[in-house]
Amino acid sequence: MAVGADAALAGKVVMVAGASSGMGRATAVAAAAEGASVVLFARRADSLAELEKTITAEGGSAIAYAGDATDRQAVEAAVAAGVEAYGRIDVLVNSVGTNIRNRALTTLTPEGWRELMSANLDAAFVLTQAVLPVFRQQGDGLLVHITSSAARKPDVSGVGYQASKAGVTALAHATMEEERANGIRVSVLFPGFTDTPMVEHRPTPPTAEMLANALQPDDVARMCLAVMSLPARAHVPELVLYPTRS
């Protein structure tokens, strides 16, 4: 990972929540390859340690901090660790999320609903509040929420999943309105069907043909890079990405 001074994210610090797999992992790797110092955050310490080793072995810079994104103290500690290590955080990418197997309205339980709201919406709220003081002090910062096309176009992903992801969208736009005067930007990415470990939670597993036509995590990572690489004067409120053959 030979990174030149003209790399798109040279000198930037990017924190990726949900970095242990899927879109989050791909985004962390891509950001490091473009010169960013990366703060890796997720629940699975072993996966984070492996990713940190992979990035540093390629000449990149990364630190790992394990914790649950719904745990305010853990998230605040991860943000503080990033600032201590690198002096600032320029971007926080929220790639945290889950779905459950019993997702249809007729089978969704109150416990399942609460699980989805916690993992998808509460985590986004906690991450937002944890990083805002750093962004405000800097007078600059970008928050990128990776949600789902299901938040815009109803599908069979389930009412709890769609409601929670739509909530993240509302949170993102409201945050932008409140914080734009402080130099803070908030963007939302809406990927369509993507081949990530979360597809294993589907009631009916996707076919080989469906997976062959799906987006890949690297596709989403490239869109994140495009948004992160823009100058602070430019703001991307929303970006939708679908598979060509969906």
Q: What is the CATH number of the domain that holds 46?
A: 3.40.50.720
* 63 inside domain: yes
pLDDT tops 60 at residue 1: no
Any domain includes 164: yes
pLDDT band at 48 (very low <50, low <70, confident <90, very high): very high
Residue 175 has what pLDDT? Answer: 98
Q: Longest C-alpha distance within the chain, in Å?
A: 55
pLDDT above 70 as % of the chain: 97
Is 2 part of any domain? no
* Domain presence at residue 97: yes
Q: Is residue 5's pLDDT more than 70? A: no
Q: Note whether residue 6 is domain-resident.
A: no
58 within some domain: yes
| 3 confidence band (pLDDT: 50, 70, 90) | low
| The model's pTM | 0.93
- Residues involved in catalysis: 161
* Structural domain total, the chain: 1
Domain interval for residue 211? 13-241
Q: Is residue 4 part of a domain?
A: no
Q: How many CB atoms sit inside 10 A of residue 183's CB?
A: 14
CA distance 119 to 18: 11
Residue 246 covered by a domain: no
Contact 51, 20 (CB under 8 A): yes
